[in-house]
Chains A and B, each alone.
Chain A
Amino acid sequence: MIEERFDAIVVGAGMAGNAAALTMAKHGMKVLQLERGEYPGSKNVQGAILYADMMEKLVPEFREEAPLERHLIEQRFWMMDDRSHVGMHFRSEDFNEERPNRYTIIRAQFDKWFSSKVREAGATVLCETTVTELVRDDRGRVIGVRTDRRDGEIHADVVVLAEGVNGLLGTRAGLRDRPAPDSVALAVKEMHFLPRETIEARFNLKGDEGVVIEAAGTISRGMTGMGFIYANKECISLGIGCLVTDFQRTGQTPYGLLDQFKRHPSVSPLIAGSEVKEYSAHLIPEGGYKSIPQLYGEGWVVVGDAAQLNNAIHREGSNLAMTSGRIAAEAISLVKARGEPMNATNLSIYKKRLDDSFVIKDLKKYKDLPPLMHTHSQNFFLTYPQLISKAMQNFVRIDGTPKAEKEKATLQSFVKARSWTGLLGDVYRFARAWR
Chain B
Amino acid sequence: MNVEAPVRVEDKLYYNRYVVDVGHPHVKIRPHTTPSPQLLALLKACPARCYELNDDGQVEITVDGCIECGTCRVIAESTGDIQWSHPRGGYGVLFKFG
Q: Which residues of A contact B (CB under 8 A)?
A: 36-38, 41-46, 48, 82-83, 106-109, 111, 127-130, 132, 147-149, 165-166, 168, 178-181, 184, 186, 188, 190-191, 235, 244, 247-248, 251-256, 258-260, 276-283
Contacts and interface: CB of A to CB of B under 8 A. Distances in A.
B45 interface: yes
Interface in B21-79: 38, 41, 44-45, 47-49, 67-71, 73-75, 77-78
20 contacts: A37-B94, A38-B19, A41-B95, A106-B97, A128-B90, A129-B89, A130-B86, A149-B89, A168-B85, A178-B74, A186-B47, A244-B45, A244-B71, A244-B75, A247-B41, A255-B9, A258-B7, A259-B4, A277-B96, A281-B48
Contact of B67 (A82, A179, A244, A279): A279
A226 B28 CA distance: 31
A354 B3 CA distance: 49
Q: Which of B1, B9, B73 has the most CB of A within 10 A?
A: B1
Interface of B: 1, 4-5, 7, 9, 12-13, 15-16, 19, 38, 41, 44-45, 47-49, 67-71, 73-75, 77-78, 84-90, 92-98
B96 A254 contact: no
B74 A283 contact: yes
A108 B97 contact: yes
Contact of A184 (B67, B74, B78, B90): B74
Contacts, number: 146
Contacts of B68: 43, 166
Given A248-B75, A276-B15, A280-B67, A36 B86 contact: yes
Top 8 nearest A-B pairs (CB, nearest first) are A166-B70, A128-B90, A107-B98, A108-B98, A279-B12, A281-B47, A281-B69, A128-B89
Contact of B95 (A108, A184, A248): A108
Contact of B70 (A83, A180, A251, A283): A283
B44 A253 contact: yes
Contacts of B15: 276-279
Nearest to B26: A130
B21 to A, nearest CB: 11
Contacts of A244: 45, 71, 74-75
A258 B38 CA distance: 23
Contacts of A283: 69-71, 74
A130 B87 CA distance: 8
A255 B89 contact: no
Given A244-B75, A283-B71, A148 B7 contact: no
Contacts of A48: 98
A235 B96 CA distance: 13
Contacts of A179: 70, 74
Contacts of B48: 281
Contacts of B67: 279-281
Nearest to A183: B74
Contacts of B12: 190, 255, 276, 279
Contact of A38 (B16, B41, B90): B90
B8 to A, nearest CB: 9
B5 to A, nearest CB: 8
A42 B45 contact: no
Contact of A82 (B1, B16, B93): B1
B95 A280 contact: yes
A178 B19 CA distance: 27
Given A181-B75, A281-B48, A282-B69, A168 B7 contact: no
A180 B74 contact: yes
A168 B84 contact: yes
A148 B87 CA distance: 10
A41 B98 CA distance: 7
A280 to B, nearest CB: 6
B37 to A, nearest CB: 9
Contacts of B98: 41-46, 48, 106-108, 111, 278, 280
Contacts of B95: 41-45, 107-108, 278, 280
B56 to A, nearest CB: 22
Nearest to A246: B45
Contacts of B69: 166, 186, 281-283
Nearest to A172: B85
